[in-house]
Amino acid sequence: MTDASAQTRTDGRQVAAVAAGSLQARGLSKSFPLSRGFLGRPSAHVRAVDDVDLDVTAGTTVGIVGESGSGKSTLGRLVSLLERPDSGSVVLDGQDVTRLRGKALSALRPRLQVVFQDPFGSLDPTKSVAHAVAEPLLVHGRIRRSGMLRAAEELVSRVGLDPGLARRYPEQLSGGQRQRVCIARALALEPWLLVADEPTSALDLSTRSEILNLLLGLQEDTGQSILLVSHDFATVQHLAHRVAVMYLGRIVEEGPTQEVVGNPLHPYTRALLSAVPVPDPAVQRTRRRIVLHGDVPNPANPRPAAGSAPGAVR
Amino acid sequence: MNPEVEHAEPGDPLLAVDGLTIDLTGPGGQPGLVQDVTFAVHGGESVALIGESGCGKTMTAMAVLGLLPAGFRVTGGSIRFQGRDLLACSEREKRSVRGRSIGAIFQEPMSSLNPTMRVGDQIAEARRLHLREHRKVARRRARELLDRVGIPNAERRLDSYPHELSGGMQQRVMIASAIACDPELVLADEPTTALDVTIQAEILELLRDLRREQGIAVLLVTHDLGVVADFCDRVVAMYAGSVVERSGVERLFDRPAHPYTRALLDAIPQTERPRTVLPVIRGRVPPAGQFPPGCRFEPRCAHGGHDRCLGPQQEASLADGRYTRCARVADGDLVLAEGGAR
C-alpha cells in the first residue's frame, strides 16, 4: 500500500466503456439545520457537503472515501437526487437534472438507483423477494403485476442467486443474499448510475468478496457506472478507477485510485491511508502511522480554512 | 499438561480454556454450539479470536466472563484463570474476577455505558465495588484513568455523560473502566468495529501501550484480519463453533494450517491486484444444530470430499507448534498455498 508502484495502471477514463454518457456535479453544497441550541441559542447549520465537484464517466467506478461525518453519504444522496442541494448542479448527459420536479423527476429516477448499507433495513419484511425486486418495474409501468414473478426471477439470477429465492421473504435470506436482492432491485430499471452506499460494511469478510465480485462482473458485462461510497479503503481500492477523499464536506484529493493510494498528496489522505491496517503482519509492523494534530473541527462551525485538514506530523 | 506452555515463558498461562463445550438447553436445544474449544492466553500477550459471524467467537468470550445468555450452558471442559477453575466458582467469586482481574470492552460503547451516569462515577464504581475504595479516592483514580486513556480535560470530563462524548471517546471511557482495577486480562469483543479507521488506530495504539506498560494481556475478538496483523501475537481461528487453527500471527498469515483460514486470507482484496475476481468461500456458515457430522467446514471446503473429511476432526499439533483441525493437513496429505499466493 505504501509502495509508490511504478507499474502503469489503467486510468479510469480509458477503460472501454460499453455505455455512453457522463454525470457531472458542480459546486454541490448542502447544509442541514441543527436543532435549536440549549438556552435558545440560534440554530446552527452543518455544512455536510461544501462546494463539491464530481465526475462519473460511463462504465467506471468512482469511489468516495472518508470518515463518518465527512459528507460522503450526503454527496451520494445529492448525486442520486434523493436530496436537493442548496446550490450547485447535477448534469446527466448534458441535461441539468438538479431542479427537476414531479413527472420529470420520476422519469429520471430509473437512471439513478441506490443500494444502501443495511440489507436488513432496506427490504420490507412483509413483501416477498419477487415483490421487492420487481416493484420498480411495476411502478414505472414497465410490466404488469402478473409479470412480476418472472421479471424478478430473471433479475435475481442476474445477481447470482437461485431464481427460486424470488418466492422467499427477506428474513429467510442471509446478509449477503439480501444485499444481492437490493442490488437486483436497483438494477431492475437498468440505471445509468448505481450509487452504492457502504454496500459491504454490514457483511462478513467472505461475503464482502462475493459482493465485490458481483459489482465488478456487472461493470465488466454491461458497463454499469458505479458511485461507491465507503469508509472501507480496501473495498474502494479494489473496485474504483478513481477515488475522491472527503473531509469535512469537501473533496480534499481526487484522482486515479492507484495514484491516490500510491502517492497521496493531501496530509489527510496520508493520515487516513496510514491508519488502515494491512492484513500482513510482516508489513503492518514496519509501517508508521501518520498522526494528525489538532482537534477535528466541528462541521457545524468550521474554521475559516474549512475543509483543509489539520497539519500532519510524522 | 497444557500444550501451549512450550512456546511461552515458563509458568502457567493466565487463561486456559480447555475442551470448552457449550450447549443450548431446553426445548429446541442444540448440543455442541461451541465444541471442544481449547486455547490459552499468557500474561501480557495478545491473542485474536477470529472467524465469520456465527462461528462462536463471542459465545466463547462470554463463557470466559461467565456471562452466557439464559439457556446456554457449559457442558464440558474447563476455563482456568490464574489456575482457578472459573466454572466451579460461585457467582460471587466469579463477580470478583470479572471486572477486577478480567476487564471487558464491547463493540458498541454507547450500549455498554450507563447513559444516566456520569463517566467519572462509572469508572470509580468499579474501584469502589471491587477494591472498596472511598468515593473521593476512587474519583481521583478515575481522573488518572481518563488521563491514562488519552481523554483531554480529564477533570472536567469526569462529570460528562456518555452521550456528550464522541464514539472514540466513549470507547476510551470503556477502556478506562475496563482497566480501572488493574486487571491481568482485557477481553475486547470487536472493540473498534464501530469506529472510523483513524480512531481505530488510536484505540489499538492505546491498548498496545497498556500491554507494554502494565503487562495487560488482551483477548481480542475480531473479524478484521488487518487488526489481527497489527495487534496480535497469536491467533485462534474458529469455524462453526470449533477451533480450526491455532498459530502465531506471522505463521498464520504466511502458512495457514487450515483450508478455512487459507480461504479467509484469500478473500482479502489485494492491493497489487485491483479489479480481479476474489476467491470466495462457497455456501455459508451452517446454522447452529445443523453442523455436519464430520469436518464442519467440509461442505464449503475447496479440498473436501476426501475420506478423512468424513469423521469428526480432532485437533492435531504440527511440528512447528501450530494446531490444525484438518486431518488432511495434519497428515501432510494436503499442502496449502503459502503467503498471499493464490
Mean of pLDDT values over B160-174: 93
Ranges of H-type helices in B267-330: 327-330
Q: Which helix (H) or strand (E) holds A239?
A: helix A233-239
Percent of chain A exceeding pLDDT 70 equals 84
A288 has a chain B CB within 8 A of its CB: no
How far is A270 from A313, CA to CA, in rounded Å? Answer: 10
Percent of chain A exceeding pLDDT 90 equals 73
Q: Which tens digit of pLDDT belongs to each residue from B241-294? A: 999 999 999 999 999 999 999 999 999 998 889 999 999 998 888 888 789 999
What residues have CB less than 8 Å from A233, skipping those under 6 apart?
A: A65, A261, A272, A273, A276, B197
Residue A209 vs residues A117, A220, A235, B243: alpha-carbon distances, Å: 15, 16, 9, 23
The residue in chain A having the minimum alpha-carbon distance to the alpha carbon of residue B168 is A68
Mean of pLDDT values over B56-75: 94
* Domain definitions of chain A by residue range: 7-120+193-206+220-313
B165: which 3 cell numbers?
462524548
The conformational region for residue B320 under phi > 0 = left, psi -120 to 50 = alpha, else beta, is: alpha
B163 has a chain A CB within 8 A of its CB: no
Phi, psi at residue A80, to the nearest 5°? -90, 10
The pTM score is 0.88
Confidence of residue A306 (pLDDT cuts 50, 70, 90): very low
Confidence of residue A38 (pLDDT cuts 50, 70, 90): low
**Is domain A7-120+193-206+220-313 given the CATH code 3.90.230.10 in the classification?**
no
Q: Which tens digit of pLDDT belongs to each residue from A48-90? A: 999 999 999 999 999 999 998 899 999 999 999 999 999 999 9
Instruction: Flag whether pLDDT at A18 surpasses 90.
Output: no
- Residues written for chain A: 314
Residue B11 pLDDT: 72
Confidence of residue A42 (pLDDT cuts 50, 70, 90): low
Phi, psi at residue B125, to the nearest 5°? -55, -40
Q: Which residues of A touch B272 (CB under 8 A)?
A: 5
Q: Which residues of A touch B267 (CB under 8 A)?
A: 205-206, 208-209
B207 has a chain A CB within 8 A of its CB: no
Ranges of H-type helices in B167-313: 167-178, 197-214, 225-231, 249-254, 259-266
Mean of pLDDT values over A5-22: 47
Residue B341 pLDDT: 45
Q: Which residues between 126 and 185 in chain A have a beta carbon less than 8 angstroms from any beta carbon of chain B? A: 174, 176
Residue A273 pLDDT: 94
A258 has a chain B CB within 8 A of its CB: yes
Q: Which tens digit of pLDDT belongs to each residue from B231-240? A: 999 999 999 9
Q: Which residues of A touch B271 (CB under 8 A)?
A: 1, 237, 261, 278
Instruction: Flag whether pLDDT at A43 surpasses 80.
Output: no
A276 has a chain B CB within 8 A of its CB: yes
Chains A, B: CB pairs < 8 Å: 109
Nearest CA distance, A200 vs chain B (angstrom):
13
Confidence of residue B157 (pLDDT cuts 50, 70, 90): very high
Q: Which tens digit of pLDDT belongs to each residue from A167-207? A: 999 999 988 999 999 999 999 999 999 999 999 988 888 88
B224 has a chain A CB within 8 A of its CB: yes
Q: How many CA atoms lie within 13 A of B92 on its CB side?
A: 0
